[in-house]
């Protein structure tokens, strides 16, 4: 078991952000965490990374049970976390290669001397993610899509058991988005790939490799299971409380509003 949340609730500033969340992620499965803005997705990520602790319930991530094991950096070193919030934290003088290398130490910036093996691995990941052309460029000068590729390479430097991609295509145009999704798909297809949690509120980003989906609504699990069952016209119509159609093309879903149907609960 990679992740196990049992009846997890989270209260912040007197308000329940999450309520009675149950979620089990087994090794070999790749999950989509799907929900609209404000649904509680970020709160779950903060719990998984041990930045928050549950108000009630039990959490076990990568064999570490919250409250029984010292977590912090020990846990986070086994989790590759890619979020747009990381982009502004890197030093203005760091180039893309140095940002990737910093992933070996789970640090923002390089404060230790990397080994030749680390440099070789960073170069290999840069090649896999298609960052070769800008590896020596200042990170702050890169486009949004280029930065995200670099951050994914950085996240993979420590061979994480769990890779969390938090809305990685935000701000990307169609071409950059599809290029990034192709890279993610190739990573997931590797035999030694980490378990991936892909966080999004865009149905069209759900790749065939994501065989499981959790629908989160107003801090509660609306439904969880096989992606094709979760991402269906009927299910999403009730989830959104809006009549929608889901079409599948090349094993990827597309969403449109159903103008001819009136929603009924």
260: CB partners within 8 A, 6+ apart: none
Q: Are 223 and 235 in contact (CB under 8 A)?
A: yes
Residue 221 tokens read as 């699990």
Helix (H, G, I), strand (E, B) or coil at 217: strand
pLDDT number for residue 107: 67
Instruction: Please state which of the ranges 7-11, 34-38, 100-104 shows the lowest mean pLDDT.
Output: 100-104
Count CB neighbours of 221 within 10 A: 20
- What is the H or E stretch that residue 229 is in? helix 227-230
Radius of gyration of the chain (CA): 19
- C-alpha 10/C-alpha 219 separation (Å) is 9
pLDDT number for residue 258: 83
Confidence of residue 122 (pLDDT cuts 50, 70, 90): very high
What confidence tens digit (pLDDT) does each residue in 147-157 have? Answer: 899 999 999 99
Beta bridge partners of 244: 257
| Region 220-248 average pLDDT | 96
Domain ranges of the chain: 87-159
Q: Are 225 and 204 in contact (CB under 8 A)?
A: no
Instruction: Please state which of the ranges 56-65, 78-87, 212-221 shows the lowest mean pLDDT.
Output: 78-87
Share of the chain above pLDDT 70, in %: 92
pLDDT number for residue 26: 96
* 136-162 exposure pattern, b = at least 16 Cβ within 10 A, e = fewer: eebbeebebbbbbbbbbbbbbbbebeb
Report DSSP letters for 11-45, one per residue.
EETTEEEEEEEEEEE-TT--EEEE--TTSSHHHHH
Q: How many residues does the chain have?
A: 265
| Mean predicted lDDT score pLDDT of the chain | 90
Decide if pLDDT at 235 tops 80: yes
CA separation, residue 155 to residues 50, 86, 102 (Å): 17, 11, 9
Decide if pLDDT at 77 tops 90: no
pLDDT number for residue 58: 96
Q: Are 157 and 117 in contact (CB under 8 A)?
A: no
What confidence tens digit (pLDDT) does each residue in 13-54 have? Answer: 999 999 999 999 999 999 999 999 999 999 999 999 888 999
Please name which of 52, 1, 54 lies closest in space to residue 24, comparing C-alpha atoms. Answer: 1
- C-alpha 229/C-alpha 223 separation (Å) is 10
- C-alpha 61/C-alpha 78 separation (Å) is 10
Q: Are 10 and 52 in contact (CB under 8 A)?
A: yes
């Amino acid at each position: 078991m990679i992740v196990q949340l049992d009846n997890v609730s989270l209260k912040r500033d007197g308000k329940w952000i999450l309520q009675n969340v149950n979620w089990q992620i087994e090794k070999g499965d790749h999950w989509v965490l799907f929900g609209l803005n404000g649904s509680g997705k970020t709160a779950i990520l903060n719990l998984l990374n041990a930045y928050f602790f549950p108000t009630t319930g039990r959490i076990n991530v990568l064999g570490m049970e919250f409250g029984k094991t010292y977590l912090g950096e020990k846990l986070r070193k086994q989790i590759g976390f890619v979020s747009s919030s990381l982009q502004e934290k890197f030093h203005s003088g760091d180039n893309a290669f140095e940002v990737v290398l910093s992933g070996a130490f789970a640090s923002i910036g390089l404060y230790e001397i990397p080994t030749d093996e680390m440099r070789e691995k960073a170069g290999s990941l840069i090649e896999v993610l298609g960052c070769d052309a800008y590896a020596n460029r200042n990170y702050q000068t890169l486009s949004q899509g280029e930065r995200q590729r670099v951050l994914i390479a950085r996240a993979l430097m420590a061979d994480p058991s769990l890779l969390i991609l938090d809305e990685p295509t935000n701000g990307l145009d169609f071409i950059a988005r599809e290029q990034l999704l192709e890279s993610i798909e190739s990573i997931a297809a590797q035999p030694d790939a980490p378990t991936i949690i892909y966080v999004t509120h865009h149905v069209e980003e759900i790749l065939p490799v994501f065989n499981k989906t959790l629908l989160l609504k107003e801090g509660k699990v609306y439904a969880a299971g096989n992606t094709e069952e979760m991402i269906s016209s009927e299910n999403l119509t009730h989830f959104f409380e809006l009549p929608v159609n889901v079409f599948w093309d090349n094993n990827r879903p597309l969403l449109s509003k159903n103008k001819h149907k009136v929603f009924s609960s």
